[in-house]
Structures are given as structure tokens and as C-alpha cells.
Structure 1
Amino acid sequence: MLHYAVVFFVIALIAALFGFGGIAAGAVEIAKVLFFIFIVLAAITFVVNLVRSRP
């Protein structure tokens, strides 16, 4: 999922260089959403693994 966030960020940067504001804004929003979903899932996974590993 982080891969998709990075891909949309790169698309947004390329679109911004060419001046396509609508495409860049859309790609940036998608990248932000995917990045925050990744962060939340990573935190949940970390907590679950921490709880499971306790003796």
C-alpha cells in the first residue's frame, strides 16, 4: 500500500511540472489517504505483534 502512495505522489509531481493542477491535486489526495491508511495498519500490526510476543 505504501508503494501505491509513492506512485501517486510521483504522478502528482510529474503532473505538477506540466501544469495539470486537477490531476496533480487528485493524485496528491490519493497518495495522502493511502499513506495514512498504511501508517494506521502498520501501527495496529505492531501493537498486535507486541501483545502476542509477551510471555
Structure 2
Amino acid sequence: MLGWVVTFLIIALIAGVLGFGGVAGASIEIAKAIFFIAVVLFIISAVVGITRRRTRV
């Protein structure tokens, strides 16, 4: 997922340099959304991993 974020950020930078403000803005918004989804999934995964380790003891 973070690879997608980097891809959309690169697209936004290139579009911004070339003067395509709409495409750049949309790419930034998509990158932000994917980044926050990835962070939330990471936190959920970390919490689940911690709770599973505690139940095995």
C-alpha cells in the first residue's frame, strides 16, 4: 500500500510541475487516503499481534 502512496505522490509532483493542478490535487488526495488507510491497518495488525502473543502464554 505504501508503494501506491509513493506512486501517487510522484504522479502529483509531475502533474504539478507540468501545470495540471486538478490531476495533482486528486493524486495528493488519493495518496493521503491510502496512507491513512495503511496506518490504520498497521495499528490494527499491531494490536492483534500483541493480543495473540499474550493469549499463548
Normalization by structure 2: what TM-score?
0.92
Q: Which runs of 5+ in 2 are unaligned?
A: none
Give aligned pairs, total.
55
Identity %: 51
Max Rg structure = 2
C-alpha RMSD of matched pairs (Å): 0.6
Give, in whole Å, the separation in 2 of the partners of 1:6 and 1:35. Answer: 9
Normalization by structure 1: what TM-score?
0.95
Q: Which runs of 5+ in 1 are unaligned?
A: none
Provide the residue aligned with 1:51 in structure 2: 51
Post-superposition CA distance 1:11-43 (Å, at most 9, x none)? 001111111100000000000000000000000
